[in-house]
Amino acid sequence: MVRIGDLEIDIPIIQGGMAIKASMSRLAAAVANEGGVGVIAATALPIDELKEEIKKAKKNIINKGGALGVNIMVAASNFADLVKASIEEKVDMIICGAGFSRDVFDMVKNTETKLVPIVSSLKLAKIAEKLGADALVVEGGNAGGHLGTDLDSW
């Protein structure tokens, strides 16, 4: 079992939040039902569609021990609205990358939603920790995500 604050997850696996509708409610619910963290990718989703996907995932998560997260790109023009919608729908965690937002820490403060920023350097990891990150996703320079760095890991 893994703990992120008061959130307990049976299996230490977080499904990647693959954008452009690859990671939606069906996949996220399946992962959560197996005890991992299922993730809905919010990129390119209108707010109402994101809320509907979260509701569908929650309806289909029947086993305890897993969690539901939403992956949101900081670079998205509607980032703040996607974060607010995810918090309103009471997701277990928000994972955010493709940039770094200090504002998001205040947005999740005093909610049950955990914040998991994606970082690509020790410096950014320390900043995220100081701001109150509940956990971190650390990606190297060879990752397939949007890191904001051109440094090679090797």
Domains in the chain: ranges and CATH: 2-138 (3.20.20.70)
Confidence check: pLDDT of 150 > 80: no
Whether residue 118 has pLDDT greater than 90: yes
Query: Helix 47-60 to helix 25-33 angle, to the nearest 10 degrees?
Result: 30
Q: Is pLDDT of 148 > 80?
A: no
The model scores a pTM over 0.85 = yes
pLDDT tens-place string over residues 8-36: 999 998 888 887 777 899 999 999 999 99
> What is the three-class DSSP state of 29?
helix
